Amino acid sequence: MSFRILAIMLVISSGLFSCISQGNTLSDAQALSGLHSAKAVFLVNIKNPNAVAHLVKVIGLTRKQLLQQKVTPHFIVVFIGPDVAFLTKNRRGIPYTEERAVATIEHEIGMLTKEGIRFQACGVALHGMDVHPSALIPTVQPVESGFISVIAYQQRGYALVPVY
């Protein structure tokens, strides 16, 4: 009986060690080979402030990872749909339970703007959510149409990263 337990433990631990060693070998080198810059436009329509807060942090992490691999990132983040309500100064209509996530979104956007990432809010969505463009936090630029913005940036060579 104890031999079986020992054998099972060895199999489990060898699997664990192989997972750990694989974790150290993750690389983007093949995908980034020959690149000196990377242009991406993120189209965001998540409808959940906690998920948006996480996404904004991941976009910042992605920027950092590209820089560590000597690739200059050029990122634009376009918010469409109800997500534009998370980008306002007065947070009108934001439930108390979502205030912390919205504060995190605004803080992260402020930090990432200083690092060169641009943020936009779709005017169609602003109108649909009854948010005046002047109510946006100063680090977010209102545009007439998020779709037009994304189309234009794709025509300029930006890769589309849709996040729904």
- Cβ neighbours of 59 (radius 10 Å): 23
Give the predicted TM-score (pTM) of the model.
Answer: 0.83
Sheet holding 159-163, edge to edge: 140-143, 118-122, 72-79, 37-44, 159-163
pLDDT for residue 75 is more than 70: yes
Confidence of residue 134 (pLDDT cuts 50, 70, 90): very high
Transcribe 17-36 into DSSP letters. HHHHHHHTT---HHHHTT-S
- Predicted local confidence at residue 23, as pLDDT: 57
Q: Which residue has the higher pLDDT, 94 or 82?
A: 82
Domain-located, residue 1: no
Q: For strand 72-79 and strand 159-163, is the pairing parallel, antiparallel, or unpaired?
A: unpaired
| Structure-token pair, residue 41 | 């436009």
Mean pLDDT of 142-164: 98
Q: By residue range, what is the domain housing residue 94?
A: 30-163
Query: What angle (nearest 5°) sits at the alpha carbon of residue 130, between those of residues 126 and 132?
Result: 65
Domain-located, residue 100: yes
CA distance 40 to 28: 16
Q: Percent of the chain having pLDDT more than 90? A: 77
Domain total for the chain? Answer: 1
Domain-located, residue 12: no
Q: What is the CATH number of the domain that holds 97?
A: 3.40.1260.10
pLDDT for residue 102 is more than 90: yes
Domain-located, residue 47: yes
Domain-located, residue 80: yes
- Contact (Cβ atoms closer than 8 angstroms) between residue 55 and residue 164: no
Domain-located, residue 6: no
pLDDT for residue 129 is more than 50: yes
Confidence of residue 90 (pLDDT cuts 50, 70, 90): confident
